Amino acid sequence: MKVIDLFAGVGGLSSGFRKAGYDIVLANEIDKSISESYKKNHPDTLMINDDIKNIISYLDNISDKVDVIIGGPPCQGFSMAGARIRKKNAFLEDPRNFLFRNYFEVVQKVEPKYFIMENVPGMLSMSNGKIIEEIENLFSDETNFKHGKYYIYKQVLCASDYGVPQDRHRLIIFGSKKKINFKKAFEETKKRMIKSGEIKKATIYDAISDLNYLSSGEGDFEQDYKNKPLTEYQKERRKNSKFLFNHKATAHNKVAIDRINELKPGGRRLDLKEGKKIKSVHSGAYGRMRWEDLSKTIITRFDTPSSGVYIHPEQARTITPREAARLQSFDDDFIFYGNKSSIIKQIGNAVPPLLAYYLANVIKDVEEGKYDEE
């Protein structure tokens, strides 16, 4: 089936759908550096580096019928993390919070069989629920489409339930031109994939314990693997890559390293000795991971100790971009390009490919007619 990926970022959703056999015919990303990284990892996809508002003019270049539209409009305004520090009414003043309307306009133009919109769970409650109500109304209004409305289903999923070693919750809005039993489709596809071994639980240890030892500031863009894979998860991530990419540690100052060295696995900033304690809005600041745990949600500041639980379980540093990518379920042959801040943004904002792979399988099962309703 043919797919368009909007607000594609580096292509987490695209990666999962491509793994499931879909053809990503067009993608859109406004950030130049991120779009270049997308193109290098998805060379067969037409990447449009432009504002979403201009994307309609490119759609005539797609000769084949598009079956699915996927994408996650920017979530700055819907994020719970940002809610603590936003000024009153800032949500209404930020135009990024209404980009879902541009997503709708593309769906309206193309009218695919299905669409998937991904966002943070905070979207459900933002503006007292009026945002999600508007989204549902737009897609379920017969008069907005030539070929019938969309039936809408929304559910918050945790990525760890789909093989991602991360406690990352995301709102999924699923639209279908035909009426289906959405709840059953989501549940039965998950059961099928667990039974087949396509979904397996994974921990931080499963994800990153094989990666090369690095001290603060060490590492290179490309290097040899020094260790053999220790888990099935690692074997799967490494199977198409001969070299280790993006495994470079942030250079921390002496004060930060001294604090990090005080922390045992599972430790937090409140465990630091007097004189080394810090103030932070993040409850998990200066948090050291534990091998047996899930990662906390990977964000766009995972290189900074004060941003959360992003200190390596054993080593005196925060996790590297490759370690973060592993925790996001990217394969090792997916290489991130650009400067450090761009690469961290690419990884932190991505939809985990294994979560996307599950969603792609839900659509496949629905397409087979397994869950049709009259």
CB count in 10 Å sphere of residue 62: 14
Q: Which residue in 262, 310, 271 sits closest to 287, CA to CA?
A: 310
Together in a domain, 113 and 127: yes
Answer yes or no: is 373 within a domain.
no
Residue closest to 200 by CA, chosen among 238, 242, 234: 234
Range of the domain at 330: 204-348
In this prediction, residue 250 carries a pLDDT of 97
CB 264 within 8 A of CB 273: no
Percent of the chain with pLDDT over 70: 91
Estimate to the nearest angstrom the gap between the alpha carbon of 41 and the chain centroid: 16
Nearest to 131 by CA among 162, 166, 170, 173: 173
Is 7:109 a contact under the CB 8 Å cutoff?
Answer: no
97: its two tokens: 């919070």
What total number of domains does the chain contain? 2
78: domain CATH number? Answer: 3.40.50.150
Name the DSSP letter for residue 271: G
Note whether residue 46 is domain-resident: yes
193 and 211 share a domain?
A: no
Give the pairing of strands 2-6 and 68-71.
parallel
Here the CATH number for the domain that contains residue 208 is 3.90.120.10
pLDDT tens readout for residues 194-252? 999 999 999 999 999 999 999 999 999 999 999 999 999 999 999 999 999 999 999 99
Note whether residue 286 is domain-resident: yes
Q: In what order do the strands lie in the sheet with 46-48?
A: 46-48, 23-28, 2-6, 68-71, 114-119, 169-176, 151-158
Give the whole-number percent of the chain exceeding pLDDT 90.
81
Residue 75 appears among annotated catalytic residues: yes
60 class by beta-carbon count within 10 Å (0-12 exposed, 13-18 middle, 19+ buried)? exposed
pLDDT tens-place string over residues 251-271: 999 999 999 999 999 998 887
Mean pLDDT of 153-164: 97
- Output the CA torsion sign for 12, 170, 320, 162: negative
Same domain membership, residue 308 and residue 291: yes
Contact between 306 and 284 under an 8 Å Cβ cutoff? The reply is: no
Pairing outcome for strands 23-28 and 244-248: unpaired
Is residue 175 located within the same domain as residue 130? yes
CA distances from 242 to 212, 239, 321, 332 (A): 14, 8, 18, 9
Backbone angles phi, psi at 306, to 5 degrees: -80, -5
User: Is 322 inside a domain boundary?
Assistant: yes
Q: Give the tens place of pLDDT for each residue, 306-360.
A: 999 999 999 999 999 999 999 999 999 999 999 999 999 999 999 999 999 999 9
Catalytic residue among 75, 193, 325, 350: 75
Domain assignment present for residue 374? The answer is no
pLDDT band at 57 (very low <50, low <70, confident <90, very high): confident
Considering the domain architecture, whether residues 213 and 158 belong to the same structural domain is answered as: no
